[in-house]
Amino acid sequence: MDNAKEYAVSPVALELGELFAAHGYELALVGGPVRDLLLGRPAHDLDFCTSARPEEFEHLLKEWGNGFWDMGRKFGTLGALKRMPDGREYSVEVTTYRSDSYEPDSRKPDVNYGDSLEGDLSRRDFTVNAMAIRVPSLEFVDPFDGRRDLERGMLRTPVAPEQSFDDDPLRMMRAVRFVAQLNFRIALDTAEALADMAPRIEIVSAERVRDELCKLLLSDHPRQGLEALVDSGLADYVFPELPDLELEIDEHHRHKDVYEHTLQVLERAIALETDEEGPVPGPDLMLRLAAIMHDIGKPRTRKYEANGKVSFLHHDVVGAKMTKKRMRALHFDNHMVEDVSALVEMHLRFHGYVDERWSDAAVRRYVKDSGHLYHRLNRLTRADATTQNKAKEQMFARAMDDLEERVIELKKKEDFDSIRPDLNGDEIMSILSLKPGPLVGRAYRHMLDYRLDNGPAEHDVAVAELLRWYEDETRE
């Protein structure tokens, strides 16, 4: 054990430590905040563990903090918000010394209280998260040499990795997540255990797996995290579409390595994210999900043509359906599922513009169809252009620049978001003597297409077009 007085421990931690000590309880700053403190990173979310039971320290947090929550009570965790005199706010969570473990077929961990700080640390995921600083004494506690692993950039479990992953299989997902967040490598014995025990991740709830995947994607090094996910075998159980992209490359290299291409697209998409003032502030989960999903339809649609070329016809449509299925299995919310799958389905749409410059009507339709996804779609499309042919790459970029400039000019003349058919639903039903139903919906969509193709029309012209469409639609 070393002394931690050289570290800038937050006054909040010291104040809370003094409060617990005054009541005869141990308190220690643990986990990520200690790791980040050693890395010189700021931390406003502080995790503590204590010898006190929740019912013993609940009143302390309520009286000390400016806000209180107990959603984690069943895990021995209570939380508080603390506002300091300088205006800074800290989120504080305090957990009784514990050890979590899963029954072989259970999807939820059992929580058992422990009786020592060292015992609590032994049950944590990795040595770099198994360090603590007792407060208010500032005694640094590092029983598993986590500081050395932190300096080496190594992920290693405090106890045998097999025991650690058996106790909590989600730790395997955390391993690849920390690879992405910290740019660390996984120790050999830990990596071997991870590969051997990967199937055990199936007992963990989809929501917890999803949350780890999202943290991985939103990190500074998501590519490394995804590579670790695939190399470990975890992806075979939580995201099998990703390793499926490792298509066997034929000897003539008639198609790209789709897996490598996907990782490149992810990196290029991240580079196109904007600051908070831009249209796609990074890190953007939706864009990053679309980047790794955009080609997952290729393995199912690959076909060797008679001319020796390889085609992936309709991989965009197939991929969109696969995206929906995978994201629903991971329990993403419906909004995210629909938007990411829409981006996957539309990611080839712009390619026609490169071959032949669109009419203003076609540009309006592209913007209208992409809707609130317009800026993300353009960034996904740009990121997808990974050709090594520099002339082709420049031609593609110039075409996208041209499209975006035209959209800006067209929007000066007309608000695309407010484009509606020249005849609304009530007018359509009145003119055609129809009651609400599918035919009215088809008529409305036709008139919207007519409006996008031709711009605003006089009322009598719109009526004539509706009657012409209706006659063709109902002709036997």
DSSP output for 420-467: --SS-HHHHHHHHT--SSHHHHHHHHHHHHHHHHH----HHHHHHHHH
- CATH number assigned to the domain comprising residue 127: 3.30.460.10
The pLDDT of residue 108: 56
Segment holding 154, helix H or strand E:
strand 154-155
The reply to whether 266 falls in a domain is no
The reply to whether 462 falls in a domain is yes
The whole-number average pLDDT for the span 15-19 is 96
The whole-number average pLDDT for the span 190-202 is 97
- The larger pLDDT score, comparing residue 268 to residue 386, is at 268
The reply to whether 264 falls in a domain is no
- CATH number assigned to the domain comprising residue 201: 1.10.110.30
How many other CB atoms are there within 10 angstroms of residue 250's CB atom? 11
Claim to verify: residue 210 and residue 278 sit in the same structural domain: no
Whether residue 5 is predicted with pLDDT greater than 80 in this model: the reply is no
Claim to verify: residue 413 and residue 449 sit in the same structural domain: no
The reply to whether 226 falls in a domain is yes
The pLDDT of residue 99: 65
Compute the distance between CA of residue 475 and CA of residue 151 in angstroms, rounded to an integer. Answer: 77
The whole-number average pLDDT for the span 154-175 is 95
The reply to whether 435 falls in a domain is yes
Claim to verify: residue 22 and residue 74 sit in the same structural domain: yes
Instruction: Using a pLDDT cut of 90, give the percent of the chain over it.
Output: 72
Domain boundary (147, 165, 183) is at 147
Claim to verify: residue 253 and residue 387 sit in the same structural domain: yes
Claim to verify: residue 218 and residue 351 sit in the same structural domain: no
The whole-number average pLDDT for the span 145-171 is 95
Whether residue 250 is predicted with pLDDT greater than 50 in this model: the reply is no
Parent domain of 437: 425-474
| Least confident interval from 157-161, 180-184, 245-249, 333-337 | 245-249
What does the mean pLDDT of the chain come to? 90
The reply to whether 49 falls in a domain is yes
The pLDDT of residue 361: 85
| Least confident interval from 100-114, 244-258, 334-348, 396-410 | 100-114
Claim to verify: residue 111 and residue 140 sit in the same structural domain: yes
Whether residue 254 is predicted with pLDDT greater than 70 in this model: the reply is no
The pLDDT of residue 413: 79
Claim to verify: residue 81 and residue 176 sit in the same structural domain: no
Whether residue 253 is predicted with pLDDT greater than 60 in this model: the reply is no
How far apart, in Å, are the Cα atoms of 254 and each of 251, 257, 295, 305? 8, 10, 17, 11
Whether residue 152 is predicted with pLDDT greater than 60 in this model: the reply is yes
Domain boundary (88, 122, 147) is at 147
HSE-up of 99 (CA within 13 Å, CB side)?
A: 16
The pLDDT of residue 1: 42
| Least confident interval from 44-58, 224-238, 277-291, 415-429 | 415-429
The pLDDT of residue 420: 84
Domain boundary (121, 147, 173) is at 147
Compute the distance between CA of residue 306 and CA of residue 324 in angstroms, rounded to an integer. Answer: 33
Claim to verify: residue 63 and residue 169 sit in the same structural domain: no
Q: DSSP string covering 261-284, please?
A: HHHHHHHHHHHT-B-TTSSSBSS-
Give residue 279's pLDDT band: very low, low, confident or very high (50, 70, 90): very high
Q: How many domains does the chain have?
A: 4
Claim to verify: residue 340 and residue 372 sit in the same structural domain: yes
The pLDDT of residue 104: 53
The reply to whether 126 falls in a domain is yes
Claim to verify: residue 288 and residue 411 sit in the same structural domain: yes
The pLDDT of residue 433: 93
The whole-number average pLDDT for the span 163-190 is 95
pLDDT tens for each residue of 329-367: 999 999 999 999 999 999 999 988 988 899 888 898 899
> Quick one: how far is CA 14 from the chain centroid?
35
Claim to verify: residue 143 and residue 25 sit in the same structural domain: yes
> E strands along 159-253, which residues?
185-186
Q: Are 383 and 375 in contact (CB under 8 A)?
A: no
Claim to verify: residue 80 and residue 6 sit in the same structural domain: yes
